[in-house]
Structure formats: C-alpha cells, structure tokens
Amino acid sequence: MNMRPTALWLGLALLLTACAGPAQDAAPDVICGTRVDPALTRELVPTAEDWHESSRVDRESAVSAPCLVSAGQHTVLSLRFSWRPVATDLTYLATGTGTVSGISRPRKIDLGTASLLGNDGAISQTPCRTKSGNYFTLTLQLPGIKPADESHRADIEKFMRAYFPATVRTLGCR
C-alpha cells in the first residue's frame, strides 16, 4: 500500500492549519448571569482571549456587588449591580471621584429608563422593587478604553440597549 498520497494530504492539512494561526477566542454569550449576543461584547472588546469572570452578584439577595470580566490578565468589562431604596442621581455617580461608577463625558440617552452614556461606559437605572430596594442601577465600565476616546459610544449604547433590559428581566422585580 502506497502511503505517499495520505502523507501528502496530512502535510497539506497541517500546513493550512498552521497558516490560519490560532483561533480567536469567542466572546461569552452569558456575562454576569445575563445572556447577550457575543457580537455586542466583541465590539467593545475586540481582541480578548481567555475570557473569565469574577462575580459577587447575587440576584436573589439583591446585594450591591461587582462582576468583572477579564481577558488574560486584564479586566475588560466591569459591571456593578446596585439595589437602593431611592433613585440615585446618575450624574453624581458618573462624575464622582470613586472608581465604582465613574464614566467619562456622560450624556443622557433614551433607553426607556434613566441612562447615561459615556466614552468608556454607561449607567442605567430603573424601578425594580426587591427586598433590598426599589431601584436597580447597572454601571458598565470599560477600563481598556481611553476616557477621551469617543469612538466607542455607539457600541456601548448598543450593548446597554440589549444587556440592561435582559438583566432586569432576571432580577425578579415586583
């Protein structure tokens, strides 16, 4: 039996695989417990590899907590889930000196609820009665985006238009 054609095909397959390079890791379809189109996430973080999540969010207890999504060694998405008894001033949160909710150059946008869009993140709030409060606020921060870079605003808005209402549906608001 002649092995040369088989060896030739095997060699060609290996060469084509090597030329293609490593496969790019796919963005997750669930982020911090909420299903989202991976294409929306990939628009915000286009070159991420080795996605992993660190979350202290507990929707049942409705205790304010962060959820961080990392790619390799770097945090690429920071989400803060917050429940409060009264509505929070979103502009105060966005422009505060703390690191929990700050976003650069916030502007109001219409997502059907109180929302601000920044160059490097967004904040949205809606009535959501739970045992921990009457309002739910979600802050998205993208530490890899420079605060002066306005080129990601449309992608951030598309992500929040999908992610925020999907998250609210998981909260068991009354």
Domain boundaries, the chain: 26-169
pLDDT-above-70 percentage for the chain: 84
Checking if the pLDDT of 10 tops 90, the result is no
Please give the mean pLDDT across all residues of the chain.
Answer: 85
Decide which of 4 and 114 is more confident: 114
Ramachandran region, residue 172 (left: φ > 0; alpha: ψ -120 to 50; beta: rest): left
What local confidence, expressed as pLDDT, does residue 127 receive?
97
**Distance from C-alpha of 77 to C-alpha of 90, rounded to nearest angstrom:** 19
User: Residue 4: pLDDT band by 50, 70, 90 thresholds?
Assistant: low
Strand, helix or coil for residue 62? coil
Render pLDDT for 88-143 as a digit per residue (tens, 0 to 9). Answer: 999 999 998 778 889 999 999 999 999 999 999 999 999 999 988 899 999 999 99
What local confidence, expressed as pLDDT, does residue 72 receive?
85
Secondary element (H or E) of residue 43: helix 38-44
What local confidence, expressed as pLDDT, does residue 46 receive?
75
What local confidence, expressed as pLDDT, does residue 2 receive?
53
Task: Note whether 35 and 29 are within 8 A (CB).
Answer: yes
Q: What is the mean pLDDT of residues 4-11?
A: 44
Under DSSP, the state recorded for 27 is P
What local confidence, expressed as pLDDT, does residue 99 receive?
80
Integer CA distances (angstroms), 17 to 48, 91, 158, in order: 21, 51, 35
| Residue whose C-alpha is closest to residue 51's, from 34, 26, 32, 79 | 26
Render pLDDT for 39-67 as a digit per residue (tens, 0 to 9). Answer: 999 999 876 678 889 999 999 888 899 99
What is the bridge-based pairing of β-strands 51-55 and 30-31?
A: unpaired
Task: Note whether 103 and 120 are within 8 A (CB).
Answer: yes
Residue 116 is encoded by which pair of tokens? 């601000």
Checking if the pLDDT of 34 tops 50, the result is yes
